[in-house]
Amino acid sequence: MFDAARLNVFRAVAEHGSISAAAERLSFTQPAVSRQIATLEREAGTQLLERTPRGIRLTDPGRVLLEHAEAILDRMAAARAQLEAVARAEDGRLRIGSFPTANATVVPRAVAAFARARPHVELSLVEATSSENLPALRAGELDLVVASSIDAGVDAGGLEVVELIDDPLLVALSIDHPLARRPRLRLRDLAGETWIEARHADCRRALDRAAAAAGFEPRIRFGTEQWVGKQGLVAAGVGIALIPGLAIATAREDVVLRSLQDGPRRRVVVLLPSGYRTPAAEPFVALLRQEADDHCVACLERARLDTLVH
């Protein structure tokens, strides 16, 4: 194996054509350069340089080694530059896991802002429930996960938790629903309603707990996993549903959203490994938090949930 430092000295001698010029270029003494070349020749097992009255000339083995030395040193310089770029979060990759409603607004905006600021970082996104994404995070297959705290399968033990949003769950009504003109509602006002909820979704679990606290059991007659289907059923007037605040931007014009004074809420958090993490994770989380703050303000202004009357 050839020492990279000696290869660098050898290249400098070949480029400058003399021991003295190479020594000056490298800020070495001439004897130090000569010793490095002599050691390199012993490692190579052959003469690499020929000393002539006009200076240094490469032997045939010297020309062969110089070609490889230049490739090796250039590759090492490229590796060093890339490592420094990764450390500055200007290169590398960032693998994100998130759940569907977060992917409706905050996450894509943060991804777009991050891609503009750091275009050489390779971004990828996996959409799944929080409990499905966590094993991938622990296995090192994801670099961070945006998670909902009301997903029953989430165990954040051993992970760093960064608070993102205290997300209220709103009630969606058809525009001609009798309660649609009331600016404020309590959960008990909806005790006699027919609900639309997925069987195992986190909104269903939140509804069950909140309704029990309000003294009733929700009558769930229609089940659909996706918010698109929920909206269609709500707009048709066959029932009502909960919608996370994160999904406000996707609401249809023929659906009314109302805040619930005693309604359930959920913590949306970012989960990170407690040990090593990619340098790109921290700046991405900062963008997520900014986008989350902006989203909350924009949605409240857009919906005016406490005063809007259709």
- Dihedral angle at the C-alpha atoms of 12, 17, 21, 27, nearest 10 degrees? 10
* CA distance to 73, 105, 234, 248, per residue, from 229 (Å): 59, 18, 9, 15
> Tokens 């003294």 correspond to what residue?
215
**CATH architecture observed for domain 93-303:** 3-Layer(aba) Sandwich (3.40)
CB atoms within 10 A of CB 307: 8
Alpha helices in 49-129 (DSSP H): 60-87, 106-117
CATH of domain 4-87: 1.10.10.10
pLDDT of residue 90: 73
pLDDT of residue 301: 58
Domains 4-87 and 93-303 share a fold: no
Domain ranges, ordered by start, for the chain: 4-87, 93-303
- Over the chain (310 residues), the average pLDDT of each successive run of 10 is 90 92 92 94 93 87 93 88 74 91 91 94 92 91 87 70 89 93 88 86 81 93 85 95 85 89 87 90 94 75 45
Burial class from Cβ neighbours inside 10 Å (0-12, 13-18, 19+) for residue 116 reads: exposed
Give 161-185 as a 3 state SS string: EEEEEEEEEEEEEECCCCCCCCCCE
Buried b (16+ CB within 10 A) or exposed e, 70-79: eebeeeeeee
